[in-house]
Structure 1
Amino acid sequence: MELDLRQAIIQRVQGKDEAELTDVIESSIGAEEMALPGLGVLFEMIWKDSTAAARKKMVSVLHKHVNPSKEA
């Protein structure tokens, strides 16, 4: 049975409690670029289960990070 990357990442985190999921995320942030697809899959799961307001907030935060103010 072949697993695609998305399925493999989901299987890696299934069964973990919230503290373990936090550790997976925090240890992946700023790590090697190999971790980025995993974070993308996790973000996709969060996005699909988010309200329109939560999505708008995430996009706003992202926009601020990719377009930093020149006033700082």
Structure 2
Amino acid sequence: MQGWSCPHNINEICQIRNGKPCEPGYPGCILFGKMVFADPEHPSNKAFHEKRRQQRKTPASETETGAKKTDTD
């Protein structure tokens, strides 16, 4: 298991989310959609899996350069 300390959490208040309580992985947090949390209902989990689905739909040649490869490349 890994530990992590957010640099935006000051006294349990998130400096990114305009002074709201720190809720790791919720919308507005830098972790949102970047990792899966143990709680299956966590909002980050849905965003994470949706992002993965989108990446699978995009061919690798497009994701690497941002443009489609052609025969002349």
Normalising by structure 1, we get a TM-score of 0.30
Say which structure is richer in strand: 2
Say which structure is richer in helix: 1
